[in-house]
Amino acid sequence: MLSLANLRQSLIKPNVSKTIFTSSLRQSSNTDDIILEHKDITKDRTEKIPVETSIRYLKSLAFEKTYEGKPVWVLYRRNHKGLFPPKKTRKTCIRAGQISTGNPCPICRDEYLVLHEKNVDLLKQFISPQTGSILSYSKTGLCQKKHEELIVAIKRAYDRGLITFDVPFRKYDYSDFAPKST
């Protein structure tokens, strides 16, 4: 028999559990069958994912299904108190090898997104197509640590020639170089 206290408790806190899964593609080594497997999202970030795995993940069906063809930061919404968001994002989302926040930044929440100069497809998502400049952390929602890693990875990719960029136009005062009449 339902008492008034049990009824009130069930109305205040509904007994609904939602399990979050991440999907990944796995290909069997002896056959050409591709298997879509679901696994629980863990907060453990001690295992380092190789860059090659991250590059394959960006080309996979699981990535397409998760991000729907948009950059990884578009579907992310910052969680903050009050009407206006803080000027700076948090320092880091991962402390002591574990996700320490309830709403990690777009790079920290997906363990297969690795910031590296060889991962050009991921880096291009954080470069403005109109100006060619690196997008701000206030627009992308990256934590400060991952934003610094992003800047380093993009500059290394520029140096290695993996990402093209326009050299800024310089105006010179040619009167400085003209022969002076005495």
Could you please report the per-residue DSSP string of 81-145?
SSSS--SS--S-SEETTEE-SSS--HHHH-TT----TT-HHHHHTTB-TTT-PBPPHHHH---HH
pTM of the model: 0.72
Give pLDDT tens digits for 114-156. Answer: 999 999 999 999 999 999 999 999 999 999 999 999 999 999 9
Query: Measured between alpha carbons, how far is 50 from 116 in angstroms, rounded to an integer?
Result: 10
Q: What percent of the chain has pLDDT above 90? A: 58
For the chain, the domains span: 47-75+96-164
47-75+96-164 to CATH, choices 3.30.2010.10, 3.40.50.920, 2.120.10.80, 4.10.640.10: 4.10.640.10
